[in-house]
Chain A
Amino acid sequence: MTFLRQSLTMAAKDLRAELRTKEAINASVAFALVILLLFSFAFDPTAEQTREMSGGLLWIVFAFAGALILNRSFARELPNDCLDALVASPVSGAALFFGKCLANAILLLAVEFISLPVFGVFYNVWWTQRFWPLMHVLVLATWRLTVIGTMFRALTVNLRLREMMLPVLVYPMVIPALMAAMQLTTVLMAGEAIGADNLIWLRLLAGFDIIFTALGLVLVETVLVG
């Protein structure tokens, strides 16, 4: 089986398992909507304030929602020693990793697509102004969250204190992606194009996505095989 086919089988398996129980996605969507609504109610921001903080708010919400999804992704492999069964099979570690990343990214993107219209309605933001650039930012930043989260999940999967270690390790590494996403999203929500000033953020987002994905694909096997 080729790498791509193996990855897709793994991704399909993860998605099927998740959609069957809907644990992670329910929790994520609920969390995202509650925060967005609460924030709107508690602070009742003006149009000006909303414009300034849109990127920040959205990405904080997406980051935490993403954490909920990522927690489930490897946790599902642990009961019954499923991870052992996978690692012992002919699937390469890289395909296992990539498949999980795909599944997690799709789930997180789903949460984001549900959140954006809600955000648009309650904050009176015309978020589709710069739709395609926004989609680019969404996909790039979501991929980064997913790759780092999945990789570090694999790292901590056997630790006693894994629930605590994962946020400690992941958040510093994803802050750069979040910063870039927040900055770009704020700009795009305000209806402006990504100017020369902000291009560096986009480049960083894309560039390090490639680097981290490559590093992950190469190193994950080392981490999974004791």
Chain B
Amino acid sequence: MRQKVMITLCGLAAALLARNLYVILLRLPDEAAQGAIYRIIFFHLPSWFTSFTAYVLAGVASILYLVKKDTRYDAFAVSVTEIGTVFTGMGLVTGMIWARVIWGIWWTWDPRLTWAFICWLVYAGYLMLRRATEDPTARARNSAVLSIFAFTTVIITYKAIDWWRTQHPGAVLSFRTGGGKIDPAMEAMIYWNWLALMLLAAVLVMVRMKQEHVQGEIEALRRHAHAL
């Protein structure tokens, strides 16, 4: 059953991505000021949205774990955080490529970029903490607490373009600006590609959760063996 769901999602994601790529590369016109490179926004923004969603879910799962102590919440939290971190990396890289073309530099320490980088560092730290903690109960508990602290950086990263004057472009999407800053077809494509990436992320999370489950079983067996 689970296999079927994963394969279906995978298929949907692939189909949607293929369709999106077709539209992005062949159908949509070039942007007025930026030329062709602007198309990277169709991966840049969705990557960040996907990773932020992942971190929100991780935060919620962490709180639920602390309250209910069910290890499945912990498994979900780590899976979702790992996938989120990957998408954050993608977000950073796509941003850097765009910056190199448009601004001529790979990086600058403007508030938005700095906070985005911190966000990535903080969740990388979460993954390292999990690596370093051997006892599964302590691992779950401590990383849940860390996840709650780490989430504050997500909030600030998101609001950075509102709170500071940044070199990073300001808000363009309608839900933040009330409309008028971006072509509707382009805006729609951003959401379509976000959907594609979310489907992909969902599949990856499911795979990762299965890994967590099996890992837990192996650890339990290992401890049984030691006890004997």
Residues of B120-173 at the interface with A, using a CB-CB cut-off of 8 Å, are 121-122, 125, 128-129, 132-135, 137-138, 141-142, 145-146, 148-150, 152-153, 156, 163-164
* A175: Cβ under 8 A from any B Cβ: yes
Known: A165-B132, A168-B125, A223-B142. A176 touches B164 (CB 8 A): no
Contacts of B121 in A (CB 8 A): 171-172, 175
Task: Contact check, A212 vs B149: say whether CB atoms are below 8 A apart.
Answer: yes
* A173: Cβ under 8 A from any B Cβ: yes
Q: Which residue of A lies closest to B115 (CB)?
A: A176
Contact with B138, one of A151, A158, A173, A212 (Cβ below 8 angstroms): A158
Complex Cα–Cα for A197 and B124 (A): 31
* A21: Cβ under 8 A from any B Cβ: no
Known: A151-B149, A155-B146, A219-B145. A176 touches B129 (CB 8 A): no
Contacts of A215 in B (CB 8 A): 148-149
Residues of A206-221 at the interface with B, using a CB-CB cut-off of 8 Å, are 208, 211-212, 215, 219
Chain B proximity of A216: nearest CB distance (Å): 9
Per-residue B-contact encoding for A186-213, CB less than 8 Å = 1, 0 else: 0000000000000010001000100110
Complex Cα–Cα for A211 and B152 (A): 9
Known: A156-B129, A165-B128, A165-B129. A176 touches B153 (CB 8 A): yes
Known: A175-B118, A208-B152. A226 touches B137 (CB 8 A): yes
Complex Cα–Cα for A30 and B167 (A): 39
Complex Cα–Cα for A215 and B132 (A): 23
Interface secondary structure of A, over-half rule: helix
Chain A proximity of B139: nearest CB distance (Å): 10
Residues of A100-156 at the interface with B, using a CB-CB cut-off of 8 Å, are 148, 151-152, 155-156
Contacts of A151 in B (CB 8 A): 149
Contacts of A172 in B (CB 8 A): 118, 121-122, 125, 153
Complex Cα–Cα for A172 and B66 (A): 24
* A20: Cβ under 8 A from any B Cβ: no
Task: Contact check, B66 vs A222: say whether CB atoms are below 8 A apart.
Answer: yes
Complex Cα–Cα for A172 and B129 (A): 13
Q: Which residue of B lies closest to A162 (CB)?
A: B132
Task: Contact check, B128 vs A168: say whether CB atoms are below 8 A apart.
Answer: yes
Q: Which residue of A lies closest to B126 (CB)?
A: A169
* A38: Cβ under 8 A from any B Cβ: no
Task: Contact check, A222 vs B148: say whether CB atoms are below 8 A apart.
Answer: no
Contact with A155, one of B114, B134, B145, B153 (Cβ below 8 angstroms): B145
* A179: Cβ under 8 A from any B Cβ: yes
Complex Cα–Cα for A155 and B128 (A): 13
Task: Contact check, B122 vs A173: say whether CB atoms are below 8 A apart.
Answer: yes
Complex Cα–Cα for A215 and B195 (A): 33
Complex Cα–Cα for A160 and B146 (A): 18
Q: Which residue of B lies closest to A159 (CB)?
A: B132
Nearest 10 pairs of A and B residues by beta carbon: A172-B121, A172-B122, A169-B125, A161-B132, A219-B145, A155-B142, A165-B132, A168-B125, A159-B132, A172-B118
Interface residues in chain B, defined as those with a beta carbon under 8 Å from any beta carbon in chain A: 66, 114-115, 118, 121-122, 125, 128-129, 132-135, 137-138, 141-142, 145-146, 148-150, 152-153, 156, 163-164
Q: List 10 extra interface pairs beyond A155-B145, A169-B146, A175-B118, CB under 8 A.
A: A155-B129, A172-B118, A172-B121, A172-B122, A172-B153, A173-B125, A173-B150, A200-B163, A204-B163, A222-B66
Subset of 26 A-B contacts with CB under 8 Å = A148-B149, A151-B149, A155-B145, A155-B146, A158-B138, A159-B132, A160-B132, A160-B134, A161-B132, A164-B132, A168-B125, A168-B128, A169-B125, A169-B146, A171-B121, A172-B118, A172-B153, A173-B122, A173-B150, A175-B114, A175-B118, A211-B152, A219-B66, A222-B66, A223-B145, A226-B137
